[in-house]
Chain A
Amino acid sequence: MSGKSNRDRGKAKRIVQEQLARERRRRVTLWTSLGVVAVLVIAGLIGWGFAASQENEKTAGLTTPSVAVDEGTAFAVGTGPVKIDIYEDFMCPACGQFEASAQTTIDQLVADGKVTVLYHPIAILDHASTTEYSTRSAGASAAAAQGGKFAEYHRVLFANQPQEGGPGLDNGKLIELGRSVGLTDASFADAVNEGTYYPWATKATDTAASRGVNSTPTVRVGGKDLTDRTPQGLTAAVEAAGA
């Protein structure tokens, strides 16, 4: 008799304990879930705030070259009726190839008074060098534009394009290249050394992205994306846009 009631008591106790444990698990699950959701929301907000402050920081002290056109993001070469927008990153190998193959055609189109080329140096490949060469070279090209030598400087930058994954060209080399195209002014060297136009490069990159430029080179003839970037394709697109 007493053996059975002991067993019953033991069983009842176990049931109560199990219920308590279940109750406890439910509580723990509820609170950890709430906590975890809160943590995720906070992490997201931190990311948002972090990006906003990073953008502010990178565009603080913005100096826009006075010669820049198109919302202060581009440098114009030529005065022809058809507009060619070229978004390039001086680090990007495909941009170097495009320049090498299309340069004479572009020069000819400019000389014939058919096109106005708007060069948009942007910096989307800072991770491809160890020294943020994209931003530094874009900034240097802005300084060259300010010195009246954008087209020439842009050309020597591509002619001396560094390998991806390396340190890029140092500021001394950027200044030396400037000197080779006639940028002998101290103001050019100062702008390169002080990174005067880095915030401008960031801003120009952001503006380009807002226009749907997700890669370099992006070439637009008369506002339309150029898919065939061969000299023939470029000439055909210019003719189509000019007609």
Chain B
Amino acid sequence: MTATWPWISTVARLGLAAVWLGAGLLKIGDLAGSGRAVNAYEIFPYEIAKVIGAVLPFLEITLGLLLLAGLAVRLIAGISAALLLIFIAGISWAWSQGLQIDCGCFGSGGTLSAGQTPQYLLDIARDLGFLVLAGILLWQPRTRYSIDGVLMGEE
């Protein structure tokens, strides 16, 4: 099992990297739209929602790149887990308030038009799946082909 874990963790690391890169890249082309997606949660005043909407895609892409490189994997996994928990809390809030919104997790976002139903359960389940990946890395941060490995003189 000791020989297997680094490989499992490597898959988790690259998977989570793909998630962050995808989420960030899909938002970065329309930062104003990203701000509106945050605004749709009706949690923050618009000015603050705009800042969050602008900062988030850059943060997500950076997390993705750091995971891809395998630098400070345990720390990044911790930050990822925290961020995912915040996202899950946000979606749960929208659900509890009866808002009819698209979570804006991977671009778009905003209020749904008539005839569309929110996918809150699916969104949360998906985020929980990502949380498992982060959990694996928190627990077993040693992975193959990582800068961490080179710096630590392992592998």
Contacts and interface: CB of A to CB of B under 8 A. Distances in A.
The yes or no verdict on A and B being binding partners is: yes
A212 B62 contact: no
B86 interface: no
A68 B50 CA distance: 25
Contacts of A55: 32
B81 to A, nearest CB: 15
Contacts of A47: 31, 54-59
Contact of B152 (A25, A37, A46, A94): A25
Secondary structure dominating the interface of B = helix
Contacts, number: 101
Interface of A: 21, 24-25, 28-29, 32-33, 35-37, 39-40, 43-44, 46-48, 50-52, 54-55, 58, 92-94, 124, 126-127, 202, 205-206, 209-210, 212, 214-216, 218, 229
A217 B50 CA distance: 21
A206 B33 CA distance: 10
Consensus secondary structure, chain A interface? helix
Contact of B54 (A33, A37, A50, A218): A50
Interface residues of B, number: 42
Contact of A214 (B31, B72, B79, B110): B110
Given A127-B33, A215-B40, 4 more contacts: A47-B54, A124-B33, A206-B32, A209-B39
Interface centre among A25, A39, A40, A214 (most CB of B within 10 A): A214
28 contacts: A28-B151, A28-B152, A29-B72, A33-B75, A35-B71, A35-B72, A40-B62, A44-B59, A46-B58, A47-B31, A47-B54, A47-B59, A51-B31, A51-B35, A51-B50, A54-B31, A55-B32, A93-B113, A94-B114, A124-B110, A127-B33, A209-B36, A212-B39, A214-B39, A214-B110, A215-B113, A216-B113, A218-B111
